[in-house]
Structure 1
Amino acid sequence: MNNQGQGFLVNVFLHDEEEARQVRVEMEENKQLMASLDAEIAKANAALQELLNQRAAAQKLLESNHAPSDGEARAIRDIIRSKESLFQELTGKIGDAEAELDTALSQAEGDADPQVENARTVLVGLLQERDAAHETLEAHRALLSPIRRLPPEVLGEIFIQCLPKDPPFVQARVDRCPLLLLQVCSNWRETALCTPALWASIRIDITTNSCLPNLAFVKTWLDRSGSCPLSFQINESLQMDHYEEFMTTASSILALYAPHYHRWRNVHLEYEDWRIDTGFSKLHRGLEPPESLETLYLARDFWRTNEEAQLLLLLSAPQLQSCNWVSNTSLADICVSFPQLRRLFLERPVARDVFMRILDEGASLSVAQFFVLATPSSHSIGPQNDLRILRHNLTSLDLTTDLFGPLFNQLELPSLIHLSVRRFNNIPPHPTPVWPQEAFMSFLARSKCALQTISMNDTDIAPSGMSEFLRHVSPSLEKLVLNNDRRMRHVIVDDDVLRLLTRREEDADECVCPRLAMIKFWDCHRSTDGVLADMIESRWKTKTSAGPGRLLNIAFLILEGAVDHPEDLRRLNVLNEERLGITILRR
């Protein structure tokens, strides 16, 4: 019926059937063409929608820190290519706009010319558009960054490497790791919270007014640490008045860590007030020494008698490698030996017999700091006339004592490379010399050690004794520190010592201390003007024919009566301009 009506309408306007047939063919072709166009439009719309979806996904990725999928990565690369093309196009237009502005400026009579203003407006608009395109381009490039494809385990390990290594205690601050990591994105936050090692270390400071961080925060921090070995530092600093509110905080914090006693690795406990309840009572007496404990720092004026059992547990830890003991309570009262300890620092006095016993029992000690009262007293334990020589493999010894001779006479340290000596209770000036030169040189000869560093503080070794020492340690010495109290007014370094240290071309093979790289002469030096500069210059210049050896890199000097050393000052300043490293204090 429809065909008949259609044929009737066609026949009305056409002369014959052939023309009508042709018209019907053309109409059919047009219908097919329209259908094809509709399909193309639908396909284009679908592609457009897919592109919009991809752009939306890319925008969503920009707001997160997730790794893009393969399809998202392809879409991002397409966006990057389009932005790069746009950026290049804008760069070309900016060049043209700058040229137009230059032309307008050359033709205009003033900056207010309309053509100049229009050229500037166009240029500013193009620059802003280029900056926006560049920002978008860099943001999309960042989406393909390899860090987004890292597994959580690897990312967590990277986070762990962001923690401070020295000291091994983390301050809970929002601008430092690990709290800083929680603020980057949800993915990083989740990874950080699921990485126990990030929360295994903390520093806690307790003052009269606060505890930072507070107890609840410390508990949350501890809960996140999982089963990792723990490192924690508690610093208590309370004043005498109005401290009741916080006097039990240290005990409460240690009570949080007491159930995890077996996980303690690095422990630093510092209590200013001896009345504070430290919380050691929370450690049961029946516990075994902590297997994981490696470093221990204990600072308190006096430890109570009922705390000694818990202290012994910590000091007897089988893996303990480093211990600092800062207390008026003697280690002899704890009755502990250190067969496995490698580093021991005692900052309070011990008797000579205790010092010798600790060394005798601590065969593994390598680095030690001792404060020894070697003068015999009525409180000394054991015979003071025991002259048995103790051989030990210490490599570094920091020794403060009131009497050096008895100690030098009883020690043999063949592995010693760093030695620091400091005289205690020196009442300057000394009425008579107290430095035991013969005992010191016998100690060095007996030990046959290759000293690299020597630091002498508040000693009255004579210049002749210093020269003898320098000749003895000449092949190995690299650092020489001589530091005296100004009130002593004792000369250790004079013209003879300086001339001995001066490198000369004619006796290059006989140069004393050719490896010397650092010196410090502090309130112990007196010489003729120019002699000090001769010595420094002979070891300072980058080009020298004075034989083999290292260059001097650092020099700390005090010049008494600087007006009497104009030549030294002038030449040393010239050397310091050539290569920094010389510090001069003038008096």
Structure 2
Amino acid sequence: MNQAGFMVNVFVTDEEAREYRETMQQNKLLMASLDAEIAKAQAALKQLVNQRTEAQKLLESNSAPSDTEVEAIREIIRSKEQEMEQLEGEVAGARSALNAMLERREEVAQESGPSSSALDKFDADIDGARAVLRGLLTERDQTHETLEAHRALLSPSRRIPPEVLGEIFVHCLPQDAFIDASVTHCPLLLTQISSNWRSVALMTPALWTSLKVNLSTTSCLPNLPLIQAWITRSGSCPLSFSIEESIQKDYYEEGMITSAAVLELYAPHYHRWRTIRLQYQDWRINTGFLKLPCDVPPQSLQSLHLARDFWQPTEYDQLSLMLSAPRLRNCTWVSNTDLGTLHAPFPQLTTLFLERPLIAEDFMHILSESAKIELCQFFVLASAASNLAPPASPCVLRHNLRSLDLTADLFGPLFNQLELPSLTHISLRRFDIGPHPAPVWPHQEFMSLLMRSKCLLEQISLRDIDISPDQMIDCLRHTSLSLEKLILANDRRMQHIIINDDVLRMLTWTRPDRGLNVCPHLSMVKFWDCHSSSDGVLADMIESRWKTDGGPAKSLSIAFLMLESSKNSEDLQRLDLLNEERIGISILRR
């Protein structure tokens, strides 16, 4: 063995041995060069794999890429764009080849007949061409998806600061007063998009300030741990929550979750309560009020909705505290318990919905104390016996109400005692819809109220009111310049007609030089079980206000109508055509 480390063949010459050594040395150098190239290729492959991994991580998040990652993403985009260009060419070529095969097969079929054996080879080739085309289309779609995903990585939205993103999230919340804890709606939906969005959502307290809780004999939705987590995430923000309990004492079982358990979670945050809605089905079940503070009202409370048949006297202290909250402006009281005994803060309220029956004197007394109320809803039994003797000439109360929702058995005595110059919305419902030998609607008193008040009514809603068509015409003429919404709905048992041909013809818009038009701003009508007219007259009125050319100042946009198919066939046909032209007409056929 020589110094070169291999056996020398004794039969070779020195020259041949030297050539062998040189060849071996060259091979050694070539192998070293190949090893270096392989190492370089492996390093490049590793770099590409790392870039792809980092890009994949970015694809699965909403984080903004770094400058280095941006350059890598752009390189991937350039590569994918080249692939797309190449694939588009291959797809076009494959389609062209397939179409040529199909045309040639058609020619052969015409020459030799559809059962010719020559077609078998064409069919096999065509199947192969279709398979190639399908593969190319799949590859092109996958490449396009990858390309668009990487383009999205460079979207400016990924560079939005967390604080700004959180503010955007807040604007994504539902417009409902109280939010359902649903994974298909914000804010829970936001926590499922990506880890970054989840982190931002959980760190944005304003997303978790409102919650709706529903309790039944079988469930508590959402469950107590989620309610607790919701409250914790809200930080120090004011809280709004609704608890609706549909549990009856007769079906109550030990361990059943009631509103008391939910209220106990909110009790430590009493000072943060802002908007509260509590609704109970059975007054005998514990509300949890006794565990609330009894020495100070909730300082942030602005809106309070309480619905329960009766309240226990032991709960009066806590109720009085909530009602005495210094910022309380909106109150809804649905109960047979007298709100007056709890010292309601009438002087500071701007909205009062009181569904407990009142006598006329109490109604007037509350209004006189509530100078700031702008929106109200009352249920007044004006014919009920009163301890107060009626005055010889009733005093007229001037009030700045903007919206009055009034259910009563007799309206005349109430209209006579009111002057409402700021009134824009009035909704009247008759409590007693039984048959009467004479009309109950006090038209003279109502018109006196409007003329005395000099108000500009924008909405009139009359339910179960026996106003006559002539009286309706009188009312529409008086409110013509301001009226925008007209709602007339009666119980079917009344069988009373308000809208007839005369009313509809008066409301039908004509050219200004052909007559006097009324209600140029009317945008919404609802006629429900109070309409009877000749077929086509209603369609004339709706059509005249539905088309904007030469029409009123504000075209009709919504119409709710109840019609009989046997009597209003022309109306129905024409109204359906109008609704196809512009959606907004809802018809109940009977």
Scaled by the length of structure 2, what TM-score is found?
0.86
127-136 or 275-284, larger mean C-alpha shift: 127-136
What are the Cα deviations for residues 435-483 of structure 1, in whole angstroms up to 9, with x where unaligned?
Answer: 1112111110111011111111111223322222112111111222222
Give, in whole Å, the separation in 1 of the partners of 2:212 and 2:244: 8
AA in 2 matched with 1:136: T
171-180 or 476-485, larger mean C-alpha shift: 171-180
Match of 2:403 in 1: 396
Alignment partner of 1:68 is 2:65: yes
AA in 2 matched with 1:127: L
After TM superposition, give the deviation of residue 540 of structure 1 in Å: 3.6
Give, in whole Å, the separation in 2 of the partners of 1:101 and 1:377: 94
Match of residue 450, structure 1, among 456, 477, 497: 456
Unaligned runs of 5+ in 2: 4-13, 16-21, 106-118
After TM superposition, give the deviation of residue 531 of structure 1 in Å: 4.2
Match of residue 215, structure 1, among 186, 211, 224: 224
- The answer to whether the 8 Å contact 2:509/2:552 transfers is no
Tell me the SS of whatever aligns to 1:435.
Answer: coil
Alignment partner of 1:522 is 2:528: yes
Match of residue 286, structure 2, among 277, 284, 290: 277
What are the Cα deviations for residues 228-286 of structure 1, in whole angstroms up to 9, with x where unaligned?
Answer: 11111111111343312356621121111111111011111010000111111112221
Tell me the SS of whatever aligns to 2:348.
Answer: coil
Match of 2:433 in 1: 426
After TM superposition, give the deviation of residue 143 of structure 1 in Å: 2.3
Percent of aligned positions with the same letter in both sequences?
61
Tell me the SS of whatever aligns to 1:231.
Answer: strand
Match of residue 133, structure 1, among 143, 151, 156: 143
Match of 1:555 in 2: 559
Aligned residues: 563
Give, in whole Å, the separation in 1 of the partners of 2:323 and 2:388: 22
After TM superposition, give the deviation of residue 217 of structure 1 in Å: 2.8
Match of 1:86 in 2: 83
Change (3 A) 1:87 1:534: closer
After TM superposition, give the deviation of residue 419 of structure 1 in Å: 0.7
Match of 1:505 in 2: 511
Give, in whole Å, the separation in 2 of the partners of 1:404 and 1:32: 111
Unaligned runs of 5+ in 1: 3-11, 14-23
What are the Cα deviations for residues 281-319 of structure 1, in whole angstroms up to 9, with x where unaligned?
Answer: 1122211x2222222111100111221221122222222
Give, in whole Å, the separation in 2 of the partners of 1:504 and 1:71: 70
Give, in whole Å, the separation in 1 of the partners of 2:342 and 2:33: 97
Tell me the SS of whatever aligns to 1:268.
Answer: strand
Matches within 5 A, 1:119-158: 119-158=129-168
AA in 2 matched with 1:88: E
Match of 1:330 in 2: 338
- The answer to whether the 8 Å contact 1:248/1:276 transfers is no
Match of 2:243 in 1: 234
AA in 2 matched with 1:206: L
Give, in whole Å, the separation in 2 of the partners of 1:506 and 1:76: 67
Match of residue 291, structure 1, among 299, 306, 314: 299
Tell me the SS of whatever aligns to 2:497.
Answer: coil
AA in 2 matched with 1:321: R
Give, in whole Å, the separation in 2 of the partners of 1:180 and 1:565: 48
Alignment partner of 1:185 is 2:194: yes
- The answer to whether the 8 Å contact 1:208/1:246 transfers is no
After TM superposition, give the deviation of residue 188 of structure 1 in Å: 2.5
AA in 2 matched with 1:442: S
Give, in whole Å, the separation in 1 of the partners of 2:587 and 2:143: 56
346-355 or 522-531, larger mean C-alpha shift: 522-531
- The answer to whether the 8 Å contact 1:519/1:556 transfers is yes
- The answer to whether the 8 Å contact 1:210/1:246 transfers is no
Match of 2:206 in 1: 197
- The answer to whether the 8 Å contact 1:199/1:221 transfers is yes
After TM superposition, give the deviation of residue 508 of structure 1 in Å: 5.1
Change (3 A) 1:82 1:440: same
After TM superposition, give the deviation of residue 175 of structure 1 in Å: 2.8
Change (3 A) 1:552 1:192: closer
Give, in whole Å, the separation in 2 of the partners of 1:187 and 1:359: 53
Tell me the SS of whatever aligns to 1:349.
Answer: strand
AA in 2 matched with 1:155: L
Match of 1:164 in 2: 174
Tell me the SS of whatever aligns to 2:143.
Answer: helix
Tell me the SS of whatever aligns to 2:174.
Answer: coil
Alignment partner of 1:463 is 2:469: yes
What are the Cα deviations for residues 98-145 of structure 1, in whole angstroms up to 9, with x where unaligned?
Answer: 222222333343576443233233322222222222222222223223
AA in 2 matched with 1:489: Q
After TM superposition, give the deviation of residue 370 of structure 1 in Å: 1.1
Give, in whole Å, the separation in 2 of the partners of 1:188 and 1:537: 50
Tell me the SS of whatever aligns to 2:301.
Answer: coil
Match of residue 495, structure 2, among 471, 489, 499: 489
Change (3 A) 1:445 1:268: same
AA in 2 matched with 1:262: H
Give, in whole Å, the separation in 2 of the partners of 1:44 and 1:559: 80
Scaled by the length of structure 1, what TM-score is found?
0.86
Match of 2:11 in 1: none
Q: CA RMSD in A?
A: 3.4
